[in-house]
Amino acid sequence: MSVRILALVGSLRAGSHNRQLAEAAVKVAPEGADVQLFEGLADIPFYNEDIDIEGSVPAPAARLREAAATADALLFFTPEYNGTIPAVLKNAIDWLSRPYGAAAIIDKPVAVVGTAFGQYGGVWAHDETRKAVGIAGGKVLEDIKLSIPGSVTRFAETHPADDTEVAAQLTEVVARLHGHGSEQAAA
């Protein structure tokens, strides 16, 4: 049985190191794990209950909800912007938290990882993301963490997939999330 893991990247920049980290996750996924990188977070309007009306939800938000609904687990890749979560990722979480009581993220296993320029690798943003996802109804896997510091220098000339230490750590993250996703898929 294939386990679908939806990857959401909190940076919109084409050369984002977090995007590269997500691309690496696709490459290192164990057999049976299908990591799918969601495209289109930039197209999703800011969450507003006035436009979140059944039957007329904006198409980009509906695609996000559908992708999450069909996933067995979610993997968030987030940089740290001014000490916290990027707005685009928070907006995605807001859309995924609705409709209340029947949201696409409810009880889905979720892991949060990422890289940032600072010496702590974005841990504040990772913690904020875990908090928001947990409140939204996701099953946050607190024991699965990966915060890679010094992204600007570490990945200046090396893609994360080619960094053996990062590739090994990311392989472990995806494998563990795959295990939780397998349980979700079987339920």
Query: 159 lies in which domain range?
Result: 3-186
Rounded CA-CA distance 149/52 in Å is: 37
- For the chain, the domain total comes to 1
pLDDT digits (tens, 9 = 90+) for 1-28: 789 999 999 999 989 999 999 999 999 9
Please provide residue 123's backbone torsions phi and psi, each rounded to the nearest 5 degrees: -60, -35
Per the omega criterion (within 30 degrees of 0), is the bond before 99 cis?
Answer: yes
Give the per-residue pLDDT at 182. Answer: 83
What CATH number corresponds to the domain at position 18?
3.40.50.360
pTM for the model stands at 0.96
Residues 6+ apart with CB under 8 A from 141: 109, 110, 111, 176, 177, 180
